[in-house]
Amino acid sequence: MSEIKYEIVKKVGSLSSSASGWAKELNLISWNDREPKYDLRDWSADHEKMGKGVTLSKEELIALRELLNSMDL
């Protein structure tokens, strides 16, 4: 299995963290030297390990924001 290359271009923010030190974060990440996309996933404290997540283009992130803003929470 080939190694996944990533670079965290910008740390946007953390949504939550666990007692084990993992945090759910929104970051702008370049995967395998491609154009950076917004990424929401769990990360270990040292950012060496990651959980499953979702990657969004800027347009998809804007659409998600509009959906969230329309919800009655």
pLDDT digits (tens, 9 = 90+) for 20-65: 999 999 999 999 999 999 999 999 999 999 999 999 999 999 999 9
pLDDT digits (tens, 9 = 90+) for 10-22: 999 999 999 999 9
In a domain, 49, yes or no: yes
Under 8 Å between Cβ of 29 and 9? yes
CA distance 31 to 73: 33
The pTM assigned to this predicted structure is 0.89
Give the start-end residues of each E strand in the chain. 6-17, 23-31, 37-43, 50-56
**Is residue 47 in some structural domain?**
yes
Q: Domains in the chain: how many in total?
A: 1
Residue 1 lies in a domain: no
The CATH number of whichever domain residue 19 belongs to comes to: 2.30.31.70
| Residue pLDDT, tens place only, 31-40 | 999 999 999 9
Domain extent, residue 63, equals: 6-70
